[in-house]
Structure formats: structure tokens, C-alpha cells
Amino acid sequence: MIQHDAEHETEPGALVAAVARAFASDGALAQVDAGYLPREAQQRMAQAVAEAIEGNQVLVAEAGTGVGKTFAYLVPALLSGRRAMVSTATKSLQDQLYLRDLPRLAAALKVPVTIALLKGRASYLCTQRMQQAREDAQAPDRMSLRTLAKIEAWAQTTRTGDLAELDGLDERSPAIPLVTSTRENCLGSDCPQYRGCHVMKARRDAMAADVVVVNHHLFFADLALRDTGLAELLPSVEVAVFDEAHQLPEAGVAFLGNVLASSQAIDLARDMLAVGLSQARGLQAWQELAARIDRAARDLRIVSVGHTREVRVAAKMRWEDRAGQPDFEATLAALGAAARDAALALDAMAEVGPDFVRLAERARLLSQRAASFALDTAPGRVRWIDLGMQSVRLVESPLDVREAMRAQIDAASRAWIFTSATLGAEPTLAWFTAQAGLEDARTLRVDSPFDYPNHARLYVPPRFARPNEPGHPIAVARLGAACARAAGGRTFVLTTTLRSLAHVAEVIHEEFAQHGDGIEVLVQGSAPKRQLLQRFVSASRAVLVGSQSFWEGIDVPGEALQCVVIDKLPFPPPNDPLVEARVKRIEAEGRSAFGEYFIAEAAISLKQGAGRLIRSETDRGLLVICDPRLALSSYGRQLIAALPPMTRVTSDAEALDWLAEIAAAPV
């Protein structure tokens, strides 16, 4: 543990004073970084964090781009000498904190701390499954075989087993599930590889560390499943920091729900058959038990599709469209009964080996889930059906994370810090605090120190096609191409949906093919995200067309990115079952869903998308929002006010001239 410094622990205000010293012009940070300049905004946030830690309070702090919020919370956390957990939304920020920021700061502050990184199971190599994959008679395709060979070579040398270490590994590779474990297939203490298991080692290290870096998914998955190693860790945590906290509500909603997936049922049937035939052949009717589960799981997808046309892309369906229909109910009941019978048969084999105990648990859970989906939806929750090309998932989720967060905060006295560059469109940060049940928390807003009026322009093209008009994606693509031409590439075109992404990308391709501008067009989905970004930065002239996953968490500072074009206002999709349920709840309370929900959500997403543009003090750029509603509607003013204070330009010519000007005069 950290050596507790008596001064910090006992004297009220001592931590606040120590933090002020560290950030001073001759403080610890200045001593290790010659370029360090004290920044008022950063110091203000660090002071607030220090006060929250000293008083075991809850602080919600929005810090605009460039404030230096990471150091503003890490310095007080490290100097406090208390056990800390830092949670991020993305694995890339997790890695950055663990590999770069925390070791650098701990050295600068001369605080001897042990730091650990804890990710979800799926991030770690499972040596047991890797061995099974090697022995498996059903060889995977050639590509996966090559990836497997690469993983096996790396497995000889890795200490952590964290697959992120492996350069060039595509996150979507089908080889990954073959070499990672799930809660269902992990053998736990019965595993022959248990002693050297990377998952277990990461959890042990986390338990022993002073500062542990986790992610939001892990935090909520643990609340729901108790399978991530956090449940044991949390009680001893004295400072809990959530960076990228704007993603916390959605991460929570995704993990606090119940899911019944046909793929899980099919996996169970397959595993039961394999284990039954190899360890207890003839003792139970394994073929029949497995076939019943498998058939019912496949039927569940068929009855979920119903009379709608065959599903070609993933689709979300309303629960009410299927629930109550006789074939759907009968199939759900058949799946529940098949799982229950399998659990009984597996229970009877418990003494044969531990695999049967684990399989029985899985079968029981499946039968309980099927039974719970046969009951009415509980108040405050919503259900829907996720249809995939081969699978179906029945999902039930809470509408927000209020209850879960409150329960955590009330459970123990510790400091809670929630921070992000976007937590609301107004000073009370109500967008975040209301969803997280933190209305009584202290809030703080520190604006970005960047010179937006001089360095950035905002252009909302007048007389532009409306988003619901068929010509809109074409107009967006043409304007995006014109901007990229003027800027010499260096442009992101961000769309709100995957459908418009494809359309916009196609037209931009055509534009550049016709005019031979030598600008490369990079499109989301054509390669892993990291690779696309590397290519965007290294290519001398490139435009990147992306959707959701490029709206946030992307950091391209400097001249590589000088223009961001957004196709339309990012309102939540009104037909989404979760959105519908939230709207219903707001309206039932006599409030305006459009005013309080749609506009607030759009403001947050817009701020995120716009936030890609100016990433450093010297960056300059143009933000284009191709949605005339922004200029013509009353709520447009509200949304513009939520953006950083960029100078408006009013015509294509002015916008393109600005791009040409900054392209011609690099800083």
C-alpha cells in the first residue's frame, strides 16, 4: 500500500495544499517537465478533486478539451495516499493511464505506488482454451490459423497475457474467441492452467495494488454478474474516479440488464454434448437433451423474425411485437423446459466431474432467464429483441443507472469523482447527474483554455437539403469533398447512421475518382479503427468517413485534422425501444421529451463530435454541420450555445477560404 503521509491524512486541507504545491510553477510537475506551464483551469479542477477526496464527497466535473483533466484527478489521487480505482470508458485510455500517465506522475511526485491494470476476461489470453484450439479436430480457417500461430508465439513471452500487447491483432479476428475465456467456459480452480492463468493473475495484482485502472464495462458487469474481480476490490477502494463519465449511463444500462441469447443456448448444448459423451457416455440421453436446447434456440430466432422479411442486417425489434404471440411464448417455454431438464440430468452427474457442475449452473441460468422473460416486464425496465443474421437476443434493461449508482455510493464512505469533456449543456450538468442519480453531488465546470473564436470557424450551410430529403447524403458528400479539397485532405466526415455512412462514402469516392484530386478516402469498417487512424495521419492527403465510433475518443492533434463535417443533428433514434421507453416515462411525468431528452442528447453528441477538431492550443479548423434545422429552429440556438465559442461563417466561399488560409499558413 501507499505509505500514508501523516500530513495528508490528518491535517484538514493538507491534501489541497500539497496539490497546489505540485501544480505550482516550481512544483513537482515543473521539475520533471521543462515545458510545464501552470494552468488556472487545471489547478481549479485539481483543487476541487482534492477537496472531494478529503471530504469523501461526490464531485461531477466537466473539463473542456485542453484543461488537462487526467493530471487534475491523478495528482490528488496519488498524493492522498489512499487506495484508488480509476475507471475509463475505453481500453485505449486504460492503457494510456497505466502505461504512461500513472508511472510518469508517480515518479514526478515521488509517490511509491503499485499500479495495476484490470480488464475484462475477453482481453486476456486463456492458455487452456489456446491449447484446446490447437488440439481441436475442427481446424479454423487459414487466416485464423495464422493468427493462432502468432498468438502462440507471443504466449511464450508475455507476462500479462493482455492481447492488446500484440501488434496488428484485429479485434474482430474470429481467432480471439478461441483463445479467450467466458464466464461460462472458464474452468476456474479446476483448470490445469489455473496457477499461471493470466485472468486470475490480473485479478490478484489488482487486489494487491494501490491504484487500479479498470473500465466502466467491468464495473457494471461486476455489479451484475460478480465475475470480474471488482466485487472483492471495491470495498477497499477509498477514491473512485470515472473518466469519460459521459459513457457511464449507457455502459451501465447495457450491463445491468438481463439477456437471453440463442448463441449462449447453442453453445451450452454443444458443450454439454461434448462433455457428456466424453465423460459420461450412456449415463444420460445427451444427444436428445442437447438437440432439444439447440432446436428451441434456433426456433426462437425463427419465431422472433416472424413474418418480417429475412433479417439481412442486425435489427432491434419491439418486445410487444412478439410477446404474447402463441408461437413465441411456446418456443420460449420449450427452451426453458429443455434447459431445466438438462440441468437435472447434469446435476445427477455432479460426482463424475466438475464440468457437470458448471454446465448444470449454465443450464439452470438459461431456464431461469427463459422463465423471467415469460413474466411481465417490471416497472422501470424495458425489453426488446436484438435480431442478428444467425442469432437472437432477448434483452431487458433498466432505463438508467440511477438505482445502481446510488446503491454503490450509499454503500460506503469514499470519494467519487466523475469527469469528462461533456457532461451537460448547462452549468448544473443535469444531463449526467439526472441519469446517474447524482443531483446532490457537487458540480464543477472548467472551460477549455483554447482560443476558439480565433482558431475555429463554425459553418451551418444555408439553403441546404433537409436531413429527411433524399438528396441530403449527396449534398453532404459534395460539401465534404469540397472541404477536403480546400484543406488538402485533413477532413473527417462524420455521419449519424451507418446507412448514410455508406451513401456519403460512395459519393465522396466518385467525386475524387472523377476529379483525380489524389485524396485518399478512408471508410469506417474497411479496416480496424486504429489502422484507419494511423493511415489518416500518415497519408499526406486523406479524408476519413466514419460514424458513431469516430464521434468520440479520437485524438488527432495538429495539422493532420483541420475540418470536421457532421451530416446532421445527432438526435437519438426515436424508434429505438430504449429511447421509446425513456420518452414514455418523461411524458408520463408531464414533461417534454423533446426539450428534455432529445435536445439534451443531441447537444452532448454534437459536443463530442465537434470536440475532435481542436485538440491543442495551436490547432485551427472548421466545423461544418450540414443540418439547416440548426439555423432555422428555436432549439438550434440552444445547440449552438452548447458548442465551444467558434466564429460563425455564413457561405461556402467563406468556409473554404478559411480552410485554404490555414492550409497555406501552417503554425
Residues in the site for ligand SF4, rule: CB under 6 A? Answer: 126-129, 181, 186-188, 191, 193-194, 197, 199-200
**Residues near 70 by Cβ (< 8 Å), separated by ≥ 6?**
97, 101, 243
**Residue 260: CB minimum distance to ligand SF4, A:** 24
Cβ closer to ligand SF4: 129 or 217?
Answer: 129
Question: Taking the chain, what is the end-to-end CA distance rounded to the nearest angstrom?
Answer: 46
**Residue 339: CB minimum distance to ligand SF4, A:** 23
Helix (H) or strand (E) holding 46: helix 40-54
Give the integer Cα–Cα distance in Å for 539 and 663: 15
Give the integer Cα–Cα distance in Å for 207 and 114: 11
Cβ closer to ligand SF4: 199 or 211?
Answer: 199
Burial class (CB in 10 A: 0-12, 13-18, 19+), 666: exposed
Parallel, antiparallel or unpaired: strands 415-420 and 456-459: unpaired
Identify whether the C-beta of residue 461 lies closer than 8 Å to the C-beta of residue 626: yes
Give the CA distances from residue 551 to residues 66, 490, 564, in Å, rounded to whole numbers and listed in that order.
18, 16, 10
Cβ closer to ligand SF4: 231 or 378?
Answer: 231
**Residue 271: CB minimum distance to ligand SF4, A:** 13
Give the integer Cα–Cα distance in Å for 232 and 478: 55
Give the integer Cα–Cα distance in Å for 262 and 282: 27
Identify whether the C-beta of residue 121 lies closer than 8 Å to the C-beta of residue 199: yes
3-state secondary structure (DSSP) of residue 285: coil
Cβ closer to ligand SF4: 103 or 188?
Answer: 188
Q: Is the dihedral of CA 177, 182, 186, 189 positive or negative?
A: positive
Cβ closer to ligand SF4: 191 or 317?
Answer: 191
Cβ closer to ligand SF4: 197 or 593?
Answer: 197
Q: Which amino acid is at 358?
A: R
Give the integer Cα–Cα distance in Å for 510 and 649: 28
Identify whether the C-beta of residue 335 lies closer than 8 Å to the C-beta of residue 293: yes
Cβ closer to ligand SF4: 161 or 461?
Answer: 161
**Residue 163: CB minimum distance to ligand SF4, A:** 13
Cβ closer to ligand SF4: 158 or 193?
Answer: 193
**Residue 181: CB minimum distance to ligand SF4, A:** 4
**Residue 185: CB minimum distance to ligand SF4, A:** 7
Q: How many helices (H) and strands (E) does the chain have?
A: 30, 18
Cβ closer to ligand SF4: 74 or 186?
Answer: 186
Burial class (CB in 10 A: 0-12, 13-18, 19+), 233: buried
Q: Is the dihedral of CA 166, 171, 174, 176 positive or negative?
A: positive
Give the integer Cα–Cα distance in Å for 618 and 620: 6
Any idea what DSSP says for residue 390?
S
Cβ closer to ligand SF4: 181 or 547?
Answer: 181
**Residue 86: CB minimum distance to ligand SF4, A:** 24
Give the integer Cα–Cα distance in Å for 591 and 614: 36
Cβ closer to ligand SF4: 188 or 595?
Answer: 188
Cβ closer to ligand SF4: 193 or 497?
Answer: 193
Angle of helix 102-109 relative to helix 69-80, nearest 10 degrees?
Answer: 50
Give the integer Cα–Cα distance in Å for 64 and 444: 11
Cβ closer to ligand SF4: 182 or 633?
Answer: 182
What are the cell numbers at 87?
A: 475507471
**Residue 193: CB minimum distance to ligand SF4, A:** 4
What are the cell numbers at 527?
A: 479496416
**Residue 485: CB minimum distance to ligand SF4, A:** 52
**Residue 130: CB minimum distance to ligand SF4, A:** 9
**Residues near 306 by Cβ (< 8 Å), separated by ≥ 6?**
321, 322, 325, 328
Cβ closer to ligand SF4: 229 or 424?
Answer: 229
What are the cell numbers at 449?
A: 483554455
**Residue 182: CB minimum distance to ligand SF4, A:** 9
Q: Please choose, from the candidates 223, 213, 229, the residue with its C-alpha nearest in 3D space to the C-alpha of residue 407.
A: 223
**Residue 121: CB minimum distance to ligand SF4, A:** 7
**Residue 197: CB minimum distance to ligand SF4, A:** 3
**Residue 180: CB minimum distance to ligand SF4, A:** 8
Please state, as a whole number, how many other Cβ atoms lie within 10 Å of the Cβ of residue 324.
Answer: 9
